[in-house]
Amino acid sequence: MKSIMNLSLGAILLALASCASTTPEPQFTQSATSVITQADKAKAAVTSSDPKMLDNDRQRLAEKIEYRIRNTAGPSQGKGATYQVDVAISRYEKGNAFARSMLAGLGQIHIDGTVTVRKQPGGTKVSQFSMNKTFAWGGIYGGITDMDTIEDTYAKAVANAVCGK
């Protein structure tokens, strides 16, 4: 009985941790020496070593990240700077909506990557972190949630990290 309760608790925690709108936490390998503000310009570029991520997927995610940065950046205290936000996606899995709708944990969606922020000109690295997002809910919620929704959450998390939120 106790093992069943532990299994159920584990499933609940997995489900809560993988909610579509829950932003993942950055795992910094180089803490930010500066953050992007409203006066700054940020250009995002997405590359991927995962063949499942197509050119239009990379472009769409880059646009979402730029949009989120513009709408997340806080006020500045000086002249604006220019930043390059490079996102290297190592895992991009759209999962299977039908499998997710049948049982939580099946047909998971994943976006894993490393984000490097460089101040321009010169390309001085000001921050680097990894960011992983997994969605594993089941039922109707799992069946109707798609990669577009998870990309939005991933972009929001990247923007929060680079803007110091």
Q: Is pLDDT above 90 for 7?
A: no
Mean model confidence pLDDT for the chain: 88
Residue 5 Cα to chain centre, angstroms: 32
Per-residue pLDDT tens for 99-113? 999 988 899 999 999
Cis link prior to 121 (omega < 30° from 0)? yes
Say which residues have a Cβ less than 8 Å from residue 151's Cβ, sequence separation at least 6.
Answer: 60, 61, 64, 111
Most confident of 13-17, 71-75, 87-91: 87-91
Q: Is the model's pTM score more than 0.75?
A: yes
**What domain range includes position 72?**
2-162
pLDDT value at residue 18: 57
The number of domains in the chain is 1
CATH of the domain at 113: 3.40.50
Question: Residues 142, 140, 135, CA angle at the centre, nearest 5°?
Answer: 10
Cα–Cα distance measured from residue 4 to residue 8, given in angstroms and rounded to the nearest whole number: 6
| Assigned token pair, 24 | 């993942």
